[in-house]
Amino acid sequence: MPPLDASISMPDAIVSVQGLSKTYKTGFQALKRVDLEIRRGEIFALLGPNGAGKTTLISIVCGIVNGSEGTVTVDGHDIVRDYRAARGLIGLVPQELSTDAFESVWATVKFSRGLFGKAPDPAYLEKILRELSLWEKKDSKIMTLSGGMKRRVLIAKALAHEPRVLFLDEPTAGVDVELRHDMWQMVHRLRESGVTIILTTHYIEEAEQMADRIGVINRGELVLVEDKHTLMRKLGKKQLSLQLQTPLESVPEGLGEWPLELSADGSCLTYTFDAQGERTGIAELLRKLNALGIDFKDLHSSESSLEDIFVSLVRSRA
């Protein structure tokens, strides 16, 4: 049964962050009153430049760093007061390839399961290792593995105790294309089994490929949280710019049905439209311009990408 304080968060939120701030001893404020709800079963991508606060946020939720203010609950369990229940639900794949170099793959995965309070289950661990193509390497010492393999070991460790929430901190940093695709597939499989996934990345492509929702964090502030499709629709806007032969004083009345903007000097008309819409209206617009005798010397169309929006969001707050 969910405790009372869960009622103030979204009913389907599995991770709920409220007013979370973090100021390090150096005085650096890594997080500024962050509110965030992660929905049960979703893939959430947290985007942001280096030093934006992504890792600090994850570290607080996982119990590695103490928050300065605010509360975090995982499936209704407060991460401080009820840390055992909260942490038991979480798996973390850290950004750094920190491994026990002298241990075998099997020993380290077994250790992780025990550490998280689960009874031994060799069959389950075997399943994970097979899925991550690590079974053949189970008796190898970790230090003999490649970087990509070590990353897989960290994932296997994080999954060893059957977590319900998986944090992937920059999972594909320094990872080759093949492993990246394997990892994406694995993330989708996990999601199908009901695991909620929160990943941080600064590869926008990755967020586009994998996430259901996207949050952008910059300088410790969560500047945007949006459903990916909504975001893509917003970003799916295209612009057509027409350089006119003769500047106009205002947008002619006959063009009222198109949302047009005239530049300050009157020499450029800009038409913004939905690239994914069925009718873009470009052909009609051009015919109408022709009919009205408005000539243009050049035209070009442009498309905003997630990257543009990201950069502009991050810049405007810099």
Distance CA 34, CA 21 (A): 7
Taking the CA atoms of residue 130, residue 134, residue 138 and residue 143 in that order, the dihedral angle to the nearest 10 degrees is: -170
311 binds another protein (CB under 8 A): no
53 binds another protein (CB under 8 A): no
Q: Which of residues 42, 70, 111, 275 is near another protein by CB under 8 A?
A: 111
66 binds another protein (CB under 8 A): yes
Q: For the purposes of burial, counting CB atoms within 10 Å of the CB of 202, is it exposed (0-12), middle (13-18) or buried (19 or more)? A: middle
Choose the stretch contacting another protein; rule: CB under 8 A; options: 44-52, 114-122, 226-234, 302-310.
114-122
Distance CA 253, CA 56 (A): 54
Tallying the residues shown for the chain, one arrives at 318
Distance CA 152, CA 167 (A): 14
Distance CA 18, CA 6 (A): 12
Q: Are 108 and 159 in contact (CB under 8 A)?
A: no
Q: Which positions from 86 to 105 touch another protein by CB under 8 A, shown as an x/- string? A: xxx-x-x-x-x-xxxxxx--
Choose the stretch contacting another protein; rule: CB under 8 A; options: 82-90, 145-153, 178-186, 200-208.
82-90
Q: Which positions from 149 to 168 touch another protein by CB under 8 A, shown as an x/- string? A: --------x-----------
Q: How many residues bind another protein (CB under 8 A)?
A: 35
The residue (of 62 and 145) whose beta carbon lies closer to another protein is 62
Q: Which of residues 5, 35, 64, 245 is near another protein by CB under 8 A?
A: 64
Distance CA 8, CA 10 (A): 7
118 binds another protein (CB under 8 A): yes
Q: Which positions from 273 to 292 touch another protein by CB under 8 A, shown as an x/- string? A: --------------------
CB 78, min distance to another protein, A: 13
The residue (of 55 and 235) whose beta carbon lies closer to another protein is 55
Where do runs of H (alpha helix) occur along the chain?
Answer: 54-62, 83-88, 105-115, 122-131, 147-159, 177-192, 204-210, 228-235, 282-292, 306-316
Q: Which of residues 119, 264, 291, 318 is near another protein by CB under 8 A?
A: 119
The residue (of 85 and 224) whose beta carbon lies closer to another protein is 85
10 binds another protein (CB under 8 A): no
CB 304, min distance to another protein, A: 38
24 binds another protein (CB under 8 A): yes
Torsions phi, psi of 128, nearest 5? -60, -45
Q: Which of 34, 25, 99, 26 has its CA nearest to residue 61?
A: 34
CB 85, min distance to another protein, A: 7
Q: Which of 104, 96, 95 has its CA nearest to residue 144?
A: 104
Q: Which of residues 112, 172, 196, 218 is near another protein by CB under 8 A?
A: 112
- Three-state DSSP at 88 gives helix
196 binds another protein (CB under 8 A): no
Chain contacts with another protein (rule: CB under 8 A)? 24-25, 62-66, 83-88, 90, 92, 94, 96, 98-103, 107, 110-119, 157
